[in-house]
Amino acid sequence: MTLMREGALWRNWGQNQVCTPALYAEPRTEDELASAVREGIAAGLSIRVAGTGHSSSPLVQTGGLLLSLRHLSGVIDTDVARRRARLWAGTPISALGDPLWEQGLALSNQGDIDLQTIAGAIATGTHGSGAGLQSLSGAVRSVRLVNGLGEIVQVSEDDVEELRAAQVSLGSLGVVMDVELEVSAAYHLQERVTYPHVEELLERWEDSPAAHRHFSFLWCPTDDAAELFELPTPEGESMVDRAYTKVYDEVRIEEPGGVATTPGNRVDRSYRIYPDGFGRIFNELEYFVPAAVGREAFVTVKDFVQAKYPDQIFPIEVRWVAADEAYLSPQFRRDTCVITITVEAGTDYWSYLRDIDAVLDPFDPRPHWGKLNFMTRGRMERLYPELDAFIAVRRRFDPNGVFLNDHLRPLVG
């Protein structure tokens, strides 16, 4: 009996992407998931998966079959000695902290939003901060998925080309059932928030990321900027051309006495320190440039925004991520500096973002695939040295383009 029902309007968290699929299904078991994919293929439908909708880019959109994996959620098993965890694809990152900690484990890194599903975060190259730390995709050690022929396929560390494609796949290889991640021994973090002037940041540009496990900042162009992200600021002091800077370092404590909850100077389990989600709805463009030119790229963007777009006052966030081997990763074989441009949802921000795209283009920027971007096939051929290798794997897994939509077909079809 079919699991599918008539599709309804789907909208992402940022309210800028919508679609109305012909059919929709929420499989509860891996057998049901495989059956749903096979039914979709037999019906000649394109197939996409919706996680929690935190992508600003049109990755999910389809007029065919839309799947939700929200029932395939949780930790399947762990290997403490090897520091591995196998997870259902639909598991929200926020649901991993406690069960991993109970096994003496933790994610090695994560971002400040933890609502994404683990498969969606991996597929788009979602990351945290840390010059010596890779993204979530870089931690993937195996993937099990249903391919475009309806077959269940296991990709392991021995399958080097296939794994490098699956680590950042944009959902174009198939529907992921479960993933295995390399994780860390459980650890605590100490948070320290400071408010340096941008000139101080620039003077310490190379030293700050190298000196801490995690270092990132949000540059504020005006006094009102911090309020847009609900960032606490020093009372009575101007934030113009200053930054809200977050530093996290690993510490050893005993619970509960060592836990501190003072904002700006917290000490707690890693997965409780990382999340710092924002209540305001927004859209983003996020580009990764080589770490060696990060300072120049940031200054170029900062000066451009102040000169041409003084009305764009959202903080500009800057982070660092270590190189990895995933073909479509923003960090493919290069350490990166991440520059995030935030815009008000529902406003006409396209001219602004296109100008930012043009300003950053000389720095060879690669996008966060879950954010707005202006990639073309030609630009991808320039920016991703192993694009052909990725496309070759994609075509083997999905020769008929079942998992492509109008956004992906020109890029990796």
Residue 234, judged by CB atoms within 10 A of its CB (0-12, 13-18, 19+), counts as exposed
CA distance linking residue 7 with residue 19, whole number of Å: 9
Q: Are 154 and 146 in contact (CB under 8 A)?
A: no
Q: What are phi and psi of 146, to 5 degrees?
A: -100, 120
Q: What is the dihedral of CA 394, 395, 400, 406, to 10 degrees?
A: 50
pLDDT in tens, 34-57: 999 999 999 999 999 999 999 999
Q: Are 401 and 409 in contact (CB under 8 A)?
A: yes
User: What is the chain's mean pLDDT, rounded?
Assistant: 97
> Does the pLDDT of residue 4 top 90, yes or no?
no
> Does the pLDDT of residue 190 top 50, yes or no?
yes
Edge-to-edge strand list for the sheet holding 242-251: 267-269, 188-194, 242-251, 214-220, 316-321, 336-344, 282-290, 366-367
> Does the pLDDT of residue 188 top 80, yes or no?
yes
Query: Per residue, what are the HEC states of 53-72?
Result: CCCCCCCCCCCCEEEECCCC
If you average pLDDT over residues 196-217, what whole number do you get? 97
Q: What is the pLDDT of residue 2?
A: 65
> Does the pLDDT of residue 105 top 60, yes or no?
yes
Omega into 256 within 30° of 0, i.e. cis?
yes
Q: What percent of the residues of the chain are helix, what percent strand, and what percent coil, each to the nearest 5?
A: 25, 25, 45
pLDDT in tens, 275-292: 986 678 999 999 999 999
Q: Indicate if the alpha-carbon torsion angle 141, 156, 119, 390 is positive or negative.
A: positive
> Does the pLDDT of residue 363 top 60, yes or no?
yes
Residues linked to residue 49 through DSSP beta bridges, in sequence order = 67
The amino acid at residue 262 is T
CA distance linking residue 413 with residue 400, whole number of Å: 10
Domains defined along the chain, listed by start: 5-68 (3.30.43.10), 75-185+386-412 (3.30.465.10), 188-368 (3.30.70.2520)
CA distance linking residue 198 with residue 390, whole number of Å: 40
If you average pLDDT over residues 82-105, what whole number do you get? 98
Q: What is the pLDDT of residue 279?
A: 72
Q: What is the pLDDT of residue 216?
A: 98
Cβ atoms within 10 A of the Cβ of 199, count? 10
Split at pLDDT 50, 70, 90, the class of 1 is very low
Omega into 27 within 30° of 0, i.e. cis?
no
Q: Are 323 and 333 in contact (CB under 8 A)?
A: yes
